[in-house]
């Protein structure tokens, strides 16, 4: 390549305004559309509320019946929301760790044996560690058999917690049906009545012999079930969720249901507030509501006319931008027919401009509210090439 003509000597003879500048102007106009669109949304919301109040005022007896009905609906929805939240928060829907109150140790299966012992929690042991797979021998699945009777299955071995004499072990993965667990006394030694011992701890009483789950009194390492509950600290246990769901699909369904129910409650509470305001204040506020409604209609008309004008101007600007010719200047060469450095620099700069003219506009469109976006895109499809 010849450097007889340098970048400093090269003269730019392209005088057309680049498409990039045009699209920057379009982006600014999109901002104006967005502002007006938000104004329209606010006015439409207030207009609907005023119209609903005035309509409800026409028949106060029916409005009072509607209030009673919607209050009942809200109560049922709130009950459903509480149940969904309770299911989401229920530690028994997750793998759990079980911690003794007396020694702060975790109940675990001791491999390769089947004995159930306590795992010491060091001061450096973080929550992330006891939630990890290396601690699966201390993770338990707690499933309800009936009423407050449960079975506890170890995550690592899949074996169930049961009594063997006075000792507590986890030696078998029983494949019985739920009905067998409920009615066959053979499985009672692997079933536990779980009840609250205090505000944050539980007691575990074996279904077969009624003895209570406890740590060994000598060193707290072994876990036994050799006597009835007496209320001492070594018989009380904290159940803590690992936040690892037994059935993630079930939890996701509950979360989706809670979100939908909560949204419906908010909508009905908004309607209830309107009707209650009508009953309480409708007679004295009717004239002010009617006056405000007329003012809103006037403002709304002005905003919608401004929106229409902005929309028309925007589309015209798009058409004008698309209609501009896109031409490349003559690529300068030296006497030997080689492209000069300055010409190559200009070519690269110009090529960048014409390859990415609509990038900023597209990014701006993405930021619009959905209603504004759909309104603009619906009309732009006729004037902007699909290649953009």
- Looking at the domain assignment, is residue 175 inside a domain? yes
Q: At what angle do helices 19-57 and 60-89 cross, to 10 degrees?
A: 120
- Would you tell me how many other CB atoms lie within 10 Å of the CB of residue 186? 12
pLDDT digits (tens, 9 = 90+) for 108-156: 998 777 888 887 766 556 788 888 888 999 999 999 999 999 999 999 9
Containing structural domain, residue 113: 102-235
Cis preceding-peptide flag for 112 (omega within 30 of 0): yes
Element housing 100 (H / E): strand 94-100
pLDDT digits (tens, 9 = 90+) for 226-282: 899 998 999 999 999 999 999 999 999 999 999 999 999 999 999 999 999 999 999
pLDDT at 354: 40
**25 and 125 share a domain?**
no
pLDDT digits (tens, 9 = 90+) for 23-41: 677 778 788 888 989 999 9
Copy the structure tokens of residue 28. Answer: 């600014």
Domain count, the chain: 2
Q: What is the mean pLDDT of the chain?
A: 82
- Looking at the domain assignment, is residue 149 inside a domain? yes
**117 and 229 share a domain?**
yes
pLDDT at 257: 98
Copy the structure tokens of residue 79. Answer: 């009950």
**182 and 283 share a domain?**
no
Q: What is the CATH number of the domain that holds 163?
A: 2.80.10.50
The answer to whether the CB of 176 falls within 8 A of the CB of 184 is: yes
**107 and 229 share a domain?**
yes
Tell me: pLDDT of 325 over 60: no
Burial class from Cβ neighbours inside 10 Å (0-12, 13-18, 19+) for residue 61 reads exposed
Q: How confident is the model at residue 378 (pLDDT cuts 50, 70, 90)?
A: low
CA distances in angstroms from 329 to 23, 155, 323, 352, listed in the order given: 22, 73, 19, 14
- Looking at the domain assignment, is residue 180 inside a domain? yes
Tell me: pLDDT of 21 over 70: no
**298 and 207 share a domain?**
no
- Looking at the domain assignment, is residue 26 inside a domain? yes
**147 and 195 share a domain?**
yes
- Looking at the domain assignment, is residue 339 inside a domain? yes
Q: Which is more confident, 341 or 301?
A: 301
d(Cα 96, Cα 146) in Å, to the nearest integer? 19
pLDDT digits (tens, 9 = 90+) for 286-305: 999 999 999 999 999 999 99
pLDDT digits (tens, 9 = 90+) for 177-233: 999 999 999 999 999 999 999 999 999 999 999 999 999 866 778 899 989 999 899
- Looking at the domain assignment, is residue 165 inside a domain? yes
Task: Decide which of 185, 213, 235 is a domain's last residue.
Answer: 235
Predicted structure pTM score: 0.67
**224 and 275 share a domain?**
no
Tell me: pLDDT of 338 over 70: no
**109 and 229 share a domain?**
yes
Task: Decide which of 187, 219, 235 is a domain's last residue.
Answer: 235
pLDDT at 111: 75
**272 and 349 share a domain?**
yes
- Looking at the domain assignment, is residue 198 inside a domain? yes
**157 and 228 share a domain?**
yes
Burial class from Cβ neighbours inside 10 Å (0-12, 13-18, 19+) for residue 53 reads buried
Task: Decide which of 220, 235, 250 is a domain's last residue.
Answer: 235
What 3-state DSSP class applies to 215? strand
- Looking at the domain assignment, is residue 218 inside a domain? yes
> Residue 232 contacts by C-beta under 8 Å, 6 or more apart in sequence?
102, 214
């Amino acid at each position: 390549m010849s450097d007889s003509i340098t970048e400093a000597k090269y003269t730019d003879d392209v005088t057309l305004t680049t498409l990039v500048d045009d699209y920057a102007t379009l982006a600014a106009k999109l901002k104006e559309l967005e502002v007006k669109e938000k104004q329209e949304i606010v006015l439409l919301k207030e207009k609907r509320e005023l119209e609903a109040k005035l309509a409800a005022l026409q028949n106060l007896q029916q409005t009072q019946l509607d209030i009673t009905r919607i209050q009942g609906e809200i109560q049922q929805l709130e009950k459903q929301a509480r149940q969904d939240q309770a299911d989401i928060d229920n530690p028994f829907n997750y793998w759990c760790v079980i911690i003794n109150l007396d020694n702060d140790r975790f109940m675990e299966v001791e491999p390769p044996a089947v004995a159930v012992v306590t795992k010491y929690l060091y001061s450096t042991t973080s929550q992330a560690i006891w939630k990890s797979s290396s601690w699966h021998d201390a993770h338990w699945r707690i499933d309800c058999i009936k009423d407050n009777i449960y079975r506890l299955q170890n995550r690592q071995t899949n074996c169930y917690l049961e009594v063997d004499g006075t000792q507590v072990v986890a030696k078998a993965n029983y494949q019985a049906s739920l009905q067998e667990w409920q009615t066959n006394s053979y499985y009672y030694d692997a079933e536990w009545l779980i009840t609250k011992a205090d505000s944050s701890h539980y007691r575990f009483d074996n279904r077969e012999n009624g003895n209570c789950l406890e740590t060994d009194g000598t060193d707290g390492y072994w876990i036994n079930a050799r006597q009835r509950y007496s209320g001492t600290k070594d018989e009380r246990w904290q159940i803590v969720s690992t936040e690892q769901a037994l059935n993630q699909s079930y939890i996701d369904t509950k979360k989706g249901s809670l979100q939908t129910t909560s949204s419906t409650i908010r909508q009905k509470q908004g309607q209830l507030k309107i009707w209650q305001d009508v009953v309480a204040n409708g007679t004295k506020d009717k004239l002010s509501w009617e006056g405000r409604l007329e003012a809103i209609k006037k403002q709304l008309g002005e905003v919608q006319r401004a929106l229409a004008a902005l929309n028309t101007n925007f589309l015209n600007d798009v058409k004008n931008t698309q209609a501009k010719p896109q031409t490349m200047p003559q690529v300068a060469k030296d006497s030997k027919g080689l492209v000069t450095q300055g010409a190559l620099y200009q070519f690269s700069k110009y090529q960048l401009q014409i390859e990415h003219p609509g990038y900023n506009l597209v990014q701006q469109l993405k930021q619009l509210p959905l209603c504004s976006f759909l309104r603009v895109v619906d009309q732009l499809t006729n004037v902007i090439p699909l290649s953009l």
